[in-house]
Amino acid sequence: MSEDHTHVQEFFGTRAADWDRKFPADGPAFTKAVAEFGLRPGDRVLDAGCGTGRALTALRAAVGPAGTVLGADLTPQMLAAARRAGRDAEGALLLADVARLPLRDGVLDAVFAAGLIAHLPDPEANLRELARVVRPGGRLALFHPIGRAALAARQGRELTPDDMRAEHNLGPLLAGSGWDMTSYADEDARFLALALRRA
């Protein structure tokens, strides 16, 4: 396991039990983002870096009983918190690294990723792995329940032009990873970038 993985697991592992209590107001933002994602009944969707599974209920509602919902996370404590919250009833939870997903090529219609991109050790390669498991024309949502400026303020750091999530950086990053960005919203109350898997 790389130092990146160890750091991510340590950071989130110690915070898992209180994660939902710390951010109680995020639920509506997740629901709205999933609604804008354009999922259809019967779709197969992965919540990549699902954490405590806050998106799983909305994803299940979007794809319906005929759809498939998977949640993958690197941190066992986060998945345990998702199970305690009963969110495993909405989809299958996988202890997995999104950099090496245990899924076949093109098996999914969509990937939803909340807060994930900042924790990827090799963003271009890791986004390419997400593209690998999505069919051509499938969808990607990169989401955060608050925008870049609000998040930087929360974390006590300056927002700089080299921020990977800035539109002028994220578009080329996605393009180099097999995705075409179709919309970009960076507002105080949310960050949501949508992309389509290139054929």
At 70, give phi and psi (nearest 5°).
Answer: -120, 145
Whether the Cβ atoms of residue 170 and residue 181 lie closer than 8 Å to each other: yes
CA distance 142 to 167: 12
CA distance 117 to 143: 9
CA distance 172 to 132: 18
Matching residue, tokens 């998040």: 151
Give the pLDDT confidence of 126-180 residue by residue, as tens digits. 999 999 999 999 999 999 999 999 888 988 999 999 999 999 999 999 999 999 9
Cα–Cα nearest to 60, from 84, 26, 30, 80 = 30
Give the pLDDT confidence of 19-72 residue by residue, as tens digits. 667 676 788 999 999 999 999 999 999 999 999 999 999 999 999 999 999 999
Cα–Cα nearest to 165, from 150, 184, 178 = 184
Where are the strands (E) in the chain, listed by range? 44-48, 68-73, 92-95, 108-114, 134-144, 179-187, 190-197
